[in-house]
Amino acid sequence: MLANYLIGLREGLEAALIVTILIAYVVKSGRRDVLPRIWSGVGLAVLLALGIGALLTYGTHGLSFAAQETIGGLLSIIATGLVTWMVFWMVRTARDLKGHLHGHIDRHLAGGALGLVLVAFLAVGREGIETALFMWAAVQVTGETTLPLVGASLGILTAVALGWLIYAGMLRINLARFFTWTGAILIVVAAGVLSYGVHDLQEAGVLPGLGALAFDVSAAIPPDSWYGTLLKGTLNFSPATTWLELIAWLGYLVPTMTLFIAKSRSRRQPLPTAPQHSSAPASVTA
């Protein structure tokens, strides 16, 4: 549940910051008339994410076990790739996120402003698709549906509340520190999702080595115990791990975390924090 909460919080806060910048800038530009178009784009993006979530949940019904495991393994690998891209994208672009979005807004305001629907749709839709895919992978790992959904929903609601507080000028967050810590945690979680994806492909017969265990601590950490469930739900830890799963886990975690730390240190200059309260909410920065 904690991992899913972090996914919902991080993705939701990224989307909330982008929407906040869009709304604040058009209000400051005196173009409140285009606000409904921005919200239309946000609404379409939410519907797309929900549709993808439903497709992933019900689209594999009726398939053979091997087919389901193959699809599950491939989607877990894709989810790992998307989360990794998202983490490094924020490290690379967050310092100029405001200017990047302002450039898009200026171009579309000069036209019919219909492009703002697309800007909002793409910005929020990207986060929604990543959340839906990673959530589906988490459900496959734990076998639970309720807790991952509750965790992600709470994370998204927290992100929405933080976004509103930032917009209203009532909250200041060290965004650099927030995205650095959550990024590091998500890399660990993504390593577990990748490892489980490899396990799915082994069960489907796509990859070999299903019976070659690197370790088996099921006696010390029973999978159905509360702490076994906790480790599986947060870190996707499997008490019985094959050599190929372990290689995939280490092969992803070590270089990815090393590169992430190096990138974060090279961009030591903090992201601008949430602005102080002023007479106009349009002073929001990112």
Q: What is the dihedral of CA 47, 48, 50, 53, to 10 degrees?
A: 170
**Interatomic CA distance for residues 46 and 270, integer angstroms:** 30
**Interatomic CA distance for residues 122 and 182, integer angstroms:** 23
**Interatomic CA distance for residues 8 and 154, integer angstroms:** 7
Q: What is the pLDDT of residue 258?
A: 96
Q: What is the pLDDT of residue 163?
A: 83
**pLDDT tens per residue across all 286 residues of the chain:** 667 787 788 888 888 888 887 888 788 777 788 888 888 988 998 898 888 888 877 777 777 888 888 988 898 898 889 889 888 887 776 666 666 666 667 776 665 556 778 878 887 888 888 788 877 777 776 666 677 778 788 888 998 888 888 777 776 767 677 778 888 888 988 898 899 899 999 999 999 988 899 999 988 888 778 777 767 766 778 888 999 999 999 999 999 999 999 988 876 654 445 444 443 443 444 4
pLDDT per residue as tens digits for the range 52-86:
888 877 777 777 888 888 988 898 898 889 889 88
Q: What is the pLDDT of residue 82?
A: 85
